[in-house]
């Protein structure tokens, strides 16, 4: 109940910010690698196949609006996947001090389940009726990256190899979705996806490191819990080297450039074994590839900037923390 008087505007603003919980519970900063990977797939399709349609470089025409619409549908589905992951991760999030929204009770489990169902059903139903191949792709994405990865009886995210497999397939799926916006599925699609998948797999290994203690306490046996941070850092470095070689063989500068830029961060982390360097590597890895993609899709840069600063405002206003941030150190409550 809002009490009218001098404090009424502040009360209204506080209430409006709380409504934004239902958007930020989707962890929208995680949309960046999804958008980047799918746009990389679209760009690869227009570069390596005889495409009849080419996105413009700066203007937004009908094809660009179509791309934005299909990206929105992918965003809804992936938001559902990220939300399902949080629902299943409530206990480990508490142990890792990631007390946001679901873990701290601001959004109930029931409401979270309802939101994830709506977000998954809407794009799938629409695409099954209009672009059947894309609808099937989203169904597979939800099955692999959502249900198999997070939900019982599978919960592959809690197993060493089980956590790797859905991520690898997920990277291929998102790249393929972007490719199929403008092209046909085929082996060439998977071939050109491989250096991107290897690059993100190297980053995935690093993302398992900061949560080792909390995951161990929640009985989540991730690769980092099982093998230790040092071995996983070296593994991530090796995978990045493989990604760089695959990209060079395919002569794909779109992925060669960001891997080349992020490679020193992986080397430095392999030397220091520092969690702070791990976190910084994770952040810059996604940023470098995203910036290369922005060269081809300039309006994507506008979206990234708006969402980044909108997120910073929300987390500051709602939780009084500086998130997201590109600095090494993160606050204790940050959600990776």
Alpha helical stretches, state H, 183-297: 187-207, 212-217, 223-227, 229-249, 253-272, 275-296
**If you average pLDDT over residues 24-43, what whole number do you get?**
93
Q: What is the pLDDT of residues 238-275, one digit of tens each?
A: 999 999 999 999 999 999 999 999 999 999 999 999 99
pTM: 0.88
Higher pLDDT, 277 or 8: 277
Kindly give, in sequence order, each residue whose CB lies less than 8 Å from that of residue 335, ignoring residues fewer than 6 positions away.
Answer: 27, 93, 98, 100, 323
Give percent of the chain above pLDDT 70.
90
pLDDT for 94 equals 65
Q: What is the pLDDT of residues 212-243, one digit of tens each?
A: 987 887 788 899 999 999 999 999 999 999 99
- Does 336 have pLDDT greater than 50? no
Distance CA 196, CA 293 (A): 12
DSSP readout, 142-161?
A: IIIIIIIHHSTTT-GGGSHH
If we measure between CA atoms, which residue out of 24, 44, 10 comes closest to residue 190? 44
Burial of 239 (0-12, 13-18, 19+ CB in 10 A): buried
Peptide bond into 275 cis (omega under 30): no
- Does 38 have pLDDT greater than 60? yes
**Long-range own/partner contacts, residues 237-245 (CB < 8 A, 24 or more apart):** 237/202, 237/266, 237/267, 237/269, 237/270, 239/198, 239/201, 239/202, 239/205, 240/198, 240/199, 240/202, 240/266, 242/198, 243/195, 243/196, 243/198, 243/199, 243/201, 243/202, 244/195
Structure tokens at 15: 């209430």
Q: What is the pLDDT of residues 288-332, one digit of tens each?
A: 999 999 999 999 999 999 999 999 999 988 888 888 876 654 443
pLDDT for 218 equals 75
Residue 16, Cβ neighbours under 10 Å: how many? Answer: 10
Kindly give, in sequence order, each residue whose CB lies less than 8 Å from that of residue 219, ignoring residues fewer than 6 positions away.
Answer: 158
Higher pLDDT, 16 or 174: 174
Tokens 């409401």 — which residue? 111
- Does 277 have pLDDT greater than 90? yes
Q: What is the pLDDT of residues 60-113, one digit of tens each?
A: 788 999 999 999 999 999 999 999 988 887 766 666 666 578 877 788 899 999
pLDDT for 208 equals 92
Mean residue pLDDT across the chain: 88
């Amino acid at each position: 109940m809002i009490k009218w008087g001098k404090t009424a505007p502040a009360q209204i603003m506080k209430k409006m910010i709380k409504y934004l919980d239902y958007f930020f519970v989707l962890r929208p900063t995680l949309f960046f690698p999804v958008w980047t990977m799918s746009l990389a797939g679209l760009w690869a399709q227009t570069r390596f196949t005889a495409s009849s349609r080419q996105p413009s470089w700066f203007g937004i025409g009908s094809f660009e609006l179509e791309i934005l619409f299909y990206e929105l549908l992918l965003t809804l589905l992936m938001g559902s996947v990220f939300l399902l992951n949080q629902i299943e991760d409530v206990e480990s999030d508490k142990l890792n001090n990631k007390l946001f929204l679901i873990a701290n009770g601001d959004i109930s489990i029931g409401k979270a389940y309802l939101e994830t169902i709506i977000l998954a059903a809407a794009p799938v139903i629409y695409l099954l009726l209009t672009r059947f191949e894309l609808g099937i792709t989203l169904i597979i994405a939800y099955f692999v990256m959502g249900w198999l990865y997070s939900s019982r009886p599978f919960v592959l995210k809690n197993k060493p190899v089980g956590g790797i497999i859905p991520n690898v397939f997920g990277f291929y799926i998102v790249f393929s979705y972007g490719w199929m916006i403008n092209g046909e599925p085929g082996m060439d699609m998977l071939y050109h996806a491989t250096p991107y998948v290897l690059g993100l797999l190297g980053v995935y290994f690093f993302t398992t490191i900061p949560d080792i203690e909390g995951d161990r306490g929640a009985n989540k046996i991730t690769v980092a819990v099982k093998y230790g941070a040092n071995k996983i850092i070296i593994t991530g470095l090796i995978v990045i080297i493989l990604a760089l070689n695959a990209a060079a063989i395919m002569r794909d500068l779109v992925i060669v450039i960001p891997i080349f830029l992020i490679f020193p961060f992986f080397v430095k982390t392999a030397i220091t074994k520092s969690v702070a360097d791990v976190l910084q590597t994770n952040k810059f890895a996604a940023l470098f590839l995203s910036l290369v993609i922005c060269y081809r899709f300039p309006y994507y840069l506008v979206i990234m900037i708006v969402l980044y600063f909108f997120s910073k405002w929300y987390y500051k206003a709602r939780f009084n923390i500086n998130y997201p941030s590109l600095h090494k150190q993160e606050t204790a409550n940050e959600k990776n």
